[in-house]
Amino acid sequence: MPAPARPVRLTRRQALAGVATLGPVALLAACSSGDTPDEPVPSSPEQTVASAQAAAEQRLIDGYEATIAAHPGLAATLTPLRDQHMAHADALGGSPGAGTATVAPSQGAAIAALVTAERQAARDRIGACVEAREPGLARLLAFIAASEASHVPALRSLGA
């Protein structure tokens, strides 16, 4: 994994170098697959942690899908956030699957429900981060918690 450039000089070039730290995805994939990728990898506590978090990501995706369907006017803001949860689920090794979610008829209440879900998600990801034994998984979960916490002000800007 590339070490991030230390931000002593806040140059644009160094800021861009930060993008190279997107390695958690590849790192986790490397850590969670065995030497023989064609064979099923035995379930480990780490995979249990990652799977549970991936399933939670899928529930968030379901919540966003249902909210976008019920309140299409919010699609421009909500779709990128949903896509980020898809990236999280993918990084955690989750397999795509669609569920269902109920949505409040009022737009404000629907947004408030997503705010609550994102806050809980960030808390859960931090809890799983602390529990993780594989350091790369801890790093990935810290990034995901950060992303989810940052969704809250984005949702709030919609007027929730």
Residues at the site binding other proteins, with contacts judged by CB under 8 A? 1, 3-4, 6-12, 15, 18-19, 21-22, 24-25, 80-81, 83-84, 87-88, 91, 122, 125-126, 129-130, 135-136, 138-139, 141-154
DSSP 21: G
* Shortest distance (Å) from residue 82 CB to other proteins: 11
Which CB, 54 or 122, lies closer to other proteins?
A: 122
Which CB, 106 or 113, lies closer to other proteins?
A: 113
Count Cβ atoms below 10 Å from residue 51 Cβ, excluding itself.
16
Show the tokens assigned to 40. 């099923």
Q: How far apart are CA 152 and CA 47, in angstroms?
A: 28
Which CB, 71 or 151, lies closer to other proteins?
A: 151
Angle at the Cα of 73 from the Cα atoms of 68 and 76, rounded to 5 degrees: 75
Which CB, 55 or 152, lies closer to other proteins?
A: 152
Alpha carbon 100 to its chain's center: 19
* Shortest distance (Å) from residue 93 CB to other proteins: 15
List all residues 6 or more positions away from 122 whose beta carbon is below 8 Å from its beta carbon: 145, 146, 148, 149, 152
* Shortest distance (Å) from residue 109 CB to other proteins: 22
Which CB, 62 or 148, lies closer to other proteins?
A: 148
* Shortest distance (Å) from residue 3 CB to other proteins: 6
Show the tokens assigned to 61. 């995706």
Contact 111, 77 (CB under 8 A): no
* Shortest distance (Å) from residue 140 CB to other proteins: 8
